[in-house]
Structure 1
Amino acid sequence: MGSVMSLSCSKRKATSQDVESSNESRKRRKTCSETDDDADDEYCRLIPSLPDELSIQILARLPRICYSSVRLVSRRWRSAVSTSEVYSLRKELGRTEEWLYVLTKGQEDKLLWYALDPVSTIWQRLPPMPVVVYEEESRKSSYGLWDMVSPSFRVTEFVRSLFARKDSSEQMPFCGCAIGAVDGCLYVLGGLSRSQTVSCVWRFDPIFNSWSEVSSMLASRAYSKTGVLNKKLYVVGGVDRGRGGLSPLQSAEVYDPSTDAWSEVPSMPFSKAQVLPNAFLADLLKPIATGMTCYNGRLCVPQSLYSWPFFVDVGGEVYDPETNLWVEMPSGMGEGWPARQAGTKLSVVVDGELYAFDPSSSMENGKIKVYDQKEDTWKVVIGEVPIYDLTDSESPYLLAGFHGKLHFITRDPNRNVTVLRADVPNIPVSSPSSSSSSVSGSRSLSEKANAPDKSDTVIWKLIATKDFGAAELVSCQVIDI
């Protein structure tokens, strides 16, 4: 391959009379074939004897899991799979792949991302989120009294570095950050840093395999809810730190990745919170958004009234981007939306259906419900969900939808993070089915219940598992590129 590549890389003609030129040409060809690392590698083709246009067609057809190895072949190959050209072609060819991205929180609230290819069942660890490091920090001890009385430019530089360190360190989200995914990228928004809410936004681009900071939100917020409509990322609610502690937010905003700009969205009215019987309750119970799901082209935001640690469900609001208005959520949808720990609502839309997880009163299992829009009610479609993680973690279980199936992320008895797929039979939504579940290759979890018909049995198939140590689950997103 090296000899063929050297022929394609050589651009200078040598003659028998010009020995020096011939030697130089041979050195150049040798360098190109052996290392592919000097400036002349721009003349090399991606695949010898093939036009680069055809090589790009081949790379676009490779599974995404291969791209980590492709990047190691040469600088040109790494560059080829780090541009939008290959991914745009993958979309045209119908070769895009849905990957699951899981966010975990380890010691000292350190956030770590992992990506799962559900086809190969291979996990990949994403580059860590940026950690701000300053040169001034390493030289801090060298600043003394003499430095402070040195010429004015030194004092100005020192003061500026102090403020820069403070501002930048407060941009790093440690907990309470919101997670979103739009236009093929992951977003980490806001959170709490040094007991203060922040407005910073970090974006991970799988094409470049790197993090970058984008425009900050209009408001500082933590524990906000996110959703995507029309390729725009909406952020709703959350809390902000005021003089009296954390205060719920009713504000909302939307991010357009094509312009890297935020714009305001009308604040949530919290209509049901306005009908409290007396001023005392109104002052004690604060309205807060406890979930959000994009359903039928609108933002569905269930809400609660809370005075820590008590939560009272009060329905919710629905935002329509076409009218730019909030309306009260249908009563059955809001009042029946299952709530998990801390009053939050866990839901996902799969194949146009809105599913929610109900942990029920038992600590050993839960249920999956689906929303029947015609009857405005929630109905059980999976009677038992295998729950093993009984710890008081932030998110002991997550829901995700990809490959047209509902997936449940939790921990197995060995404390490994496990991704399970629910193979749900074609049960009409209007059917009041309460089907039992079993894990593929293990014993049935429905031993306590009556045996259902085989057509109603839901099989939980193990997709992948991984040992994340003591790290807790925080959130997950699905990206299709």
Structure 2
Amino acid sequence: MERRVEGSPNAQRVIRLQAPLVDSVSCYCKVDAGLKTVATARKFVPGSKICIQPDINPRAHRSRSSRRERNRVQPPLLPGLPDDLAIACLIRVPRVEHRKLRLVCKRWQRLLSGNFYYSLRKNLGMAEEWVYVMKRDRDGKISWHAFDPTYQLWQPLPPVPVEYSEARGFGCAVLSGCHLYLFGGEDPLRGSMRRVVFYDARTNKWHPAPGMIRRRHCFGSCVIDNCLYVAGGECEGIQRALRSAEVYDPSKRKWSSIAEMGTGMVPFIGVIHNGKWYLKGLGSRRQVMSEAYDPETNTWTPVNDGMITGWRNPSTTMNGQLYSIDCRDGCKLRVYDEATDSWNKFIDSKLHLGSSRALEAAALVPLNGKLCIIRNNMSISLVDVSSPDKHVESNPRLWENIAGRGHFRTLVTNLWSSIAGRSSLKSHIVHCQVLQA
């Protein structure tokens, strides 16, 4: 503010007056633009642009009671129904529609992102299992897709984290039924990694996890009692195979060291059978060797019995039985007989598909009480091993090709077959897991 004082006709004097500080509950300096009152704004200079008391809390004028009252008054999940009945309706929606349900409103999004919703589905037997397949494309990139066996559709997924988009020799396992972990591996630029990330099938998002104790790649891994075990492998800069092993407990979010293997090994096959973890691989001198780990005694034991001798990859256990593929294209199954310590023929589909790499059986996993065979061309077969009739001729539902029938075969299977290698492309499956939600 300026005021002119005339002392004489030829001279003028200008006096500047500063506006006094004023106490008020309003901030006239417009720091809190849009708010009419701010309880903590007491002193300011009218017309200035910098508040003398900058620590203004825009939420200070909101009382706790008003927030509690606002939380109490929420729109119902379904108009006209109490929330418990609405949840009873929503848990019956097929899993393929869950992504759309999350877009309806914030309450639905919070409901479908929490454990309560999926715990109800699991307890009531409504949880659905999907097959998750990771492939390495011709250019070395990792891509992955989920297969819904109910509707026989491939579902899109969020991209793999950047650190694993070109990694090799990394591990893949499922914890808690719905969390898919990627761990370790070798980055083309950074070498061996100890990084760990996991994908939540309930929220369809990736999350970080505590890193491993030791950097490693091309190792063996398994899950026992919802704990992740890792052993052996290689590490950049070390000329011999690793002997160290460690375990991750997701409830504690912590890695711990366990007993070392008898000799260093780079495993190429592993399985859980009778509570023990069996590994078969190459030693430091490239010799074939095998060991078994007992988590109860925390000890490793060399193994060389009939099971190891006839053991082939891929293999898996279901209902206490150990199964393995008996043909390259997965048209035959074998089962291990403990009484005779030998592998016996189990089921023959009588349909030999071929010996190309595109038709090679890459994974064998349990799915909805049946054995699921996944090939590099993304074709899938389901085998009902619990059926008493083991002859395909008299029991057509014993061996089903769920990803290769009619219209679905024309649009999807042929497409993936060309990607997998039938059209001179080199692509193959590196990991396959089953997640529940």
- Structures share fold, TM-score greater than 0.5: yes
Aligned length: 348
The answer to whether 1:236 aligns with 2:231 is yes
Give the Å deviation of 1:302: 2.2
Match of 2:74 in 1: 43
Match of 1:291 in 2: 269
Match of 1:267 in 2: 260
Of 153, 174, 180, which residue of structure 1 is paired with 2:167? 174
Of 303, 314, 323, which residue of structure 2 is paired with 1:346? 314
* Partner secondary structure for residue 293 of structure 1: strand
Distance in 1 (CA, whole Å) between partners of 2:179 and 2:186 is 22
The answer to whether 1:190 aligns with 2:184 is yes
1:396·1:473 contact (CA, 8 Å) conserved in 2?
no
Distance in 2 (CA, whole Å) between partners of 1:383 and 1:249 is 39
Aligned-partner residue type, residue 130 of structure 1: P
Of 236, 242, 254, which residue of structure 2 is paired with 1:249? 242
Distance in 2 (CA, whole Å) between partners of 1:119 and 1:381 is 26
Match of 2:356 in 1: 390
Distance in 2 (CA, whole Å) between partners of 1:101 and 1:386 is 25
Residue correspondence of structure 1 range 453-472 to structure 2 within 5 A: 454=393, 459-465=398-404, 466=412, 467-468=415-416, 469-470=419-420, 471-472=427-428
Distance in 1 (CA, whole Å) between partners of 2:283 and 2:299 is 22
The answer to whether 1:418 aligns with 2:379 is yes
Match of 2:142 in 1: 111
Distance in 1 (CA, whole Å) between partners of 2:76 and 2:334 is 54
Q: Deviations over 1:430-451 (max 9, x none)?
A: xxxxx887xxxxxxxxxxxxxx
Task: Decide whether aligned partners of structure 1 residues 255 and 42 sit closer, same or farther in structure 2, where only a CA change above 3 A counts.
Answer: farther
Task: Decide whether aligned partners of structure 1 residues 233 and 194 sit closer, same or farther in structure 2, where only a CA change above 3 A counts.
Answer: same
Give the Å deviation of 1:460: 3.0
* Partner secondary structure for residue 184 of structure 2: strand
The answer to whether 1:357 aligns with 2:325 is yes
1:389·1:396 contact (CA, 8 Å) conserved in 2?
no
* Partner secondary structure for residue 309 of structure 2: helix
Aligned-partner residue type, residue 422 of structure 1: V
Give the Å deviation of 1:214: 0.5
Give the Å deviation of 1:355: 0.9
Match of 1:148 in 2: none
Distance in 2 (CA, whole Å) between partners of 1:209 and 1:382 is 37
Distance in 2 (CA, whole Å) between partners of 1:127 and 1:474 is 18
1:191·1:197 contact (CA, 8 Å) conserved in 2?
yes
1:238·1:288 contact (CA, 8 Å) conserved in 2?
yes
Of 112, 116, 132, which residue of structure 2 is paired with 1:101? 132
* Partner secondary structure for residue 195 of structure 2: strand
Distance in 2 (CA, whole Å) between partners of 1:43 and 1:461 is 48
Match of 1:74 in 2: 105
Q: Deviations over 1:297-347 (max 9, x none)?
A: 22121234476xxx6543x22211111112233511112212xxxxxx321
Give the Å deviation of 1:257: 1.0
Rg (Cα) greater in structure: 2
After TM superposition, the structure 1 stretch with the greater mean CA deviation from structure 2, 87-96 or 214-223, is 87-96
Aligned-partner residue type, residue 189 of structure 1: F
The answer to whether 1:479 aligns with 2:432 is no
* Partner secondary structure for residue 91 of structure 1: helix
Give the Å deviation of 1:87: 0.6
Aligned-partner residue type, residue 299 of structure 1: W
Q: Percent identity?
A: 33
Distance in 1 (CA, whole Å) between partners of 2:272 and 2:210 is 23
Match of 2:364 in 1: 399
Give the Å deviation of 1:130: 2.6
RMSD across aligned C-alpha pairs, in angstroms? 3.0
Distance in 1 (CA, whole Å) between partners of 2:153 and 2:71 is 36
Match of 2:200 in 1: 205
2:220·2:266 contact (CA, 8 Å) conserved in 1?
no
Report the TM-score, using the length of structure 2 for normalisation: 0.72
* Partner secondary structure for residue 369 of structure 1: strand
Q: Deviations over 1:133-187 (max 9, x none)?
A: xxxxxxxxxxxxxxxxxxxxxxxxxxxxxxxxxxxx6x87622111111112001
Higher helix share: 1
* Partner secondary structure for residue 403 of structure 2: strand
Distance in 2 (CA, whole Å) between partners of 1:114 and 1:172 is 14
The answer to whether 1:331 aligns with 2:305 is yes
* Partner secondary structure for residue 218 of structure 2: coil
Give the Å deviation of 1:98: 1.6
Match of 1:5 in 2: none
Distance in 2 (CA, whole Å) between partners of 1:81 and 1:326 is 43
Match of 1:90 in 2: 121
* Partner secondary structure for residue 112 of structure 1: strand
Match of 2:60 in 1: none
Distance in 2 (CA, whole Å) between partners of 1:399 and 1:408 is 5
Report the TM-score, using the length of structure 1 for normalisation: 0.65
Task: Decide whether aligned partners of structure 1 residues 461 and 366 sit closer, same or farther in structure 2, where only a CA change above 3 A counts.
Answer: closer
Match of 1:7 in 2: none
1:419·1:462 contact (CA, 8 Å) conserved in 2?
yes
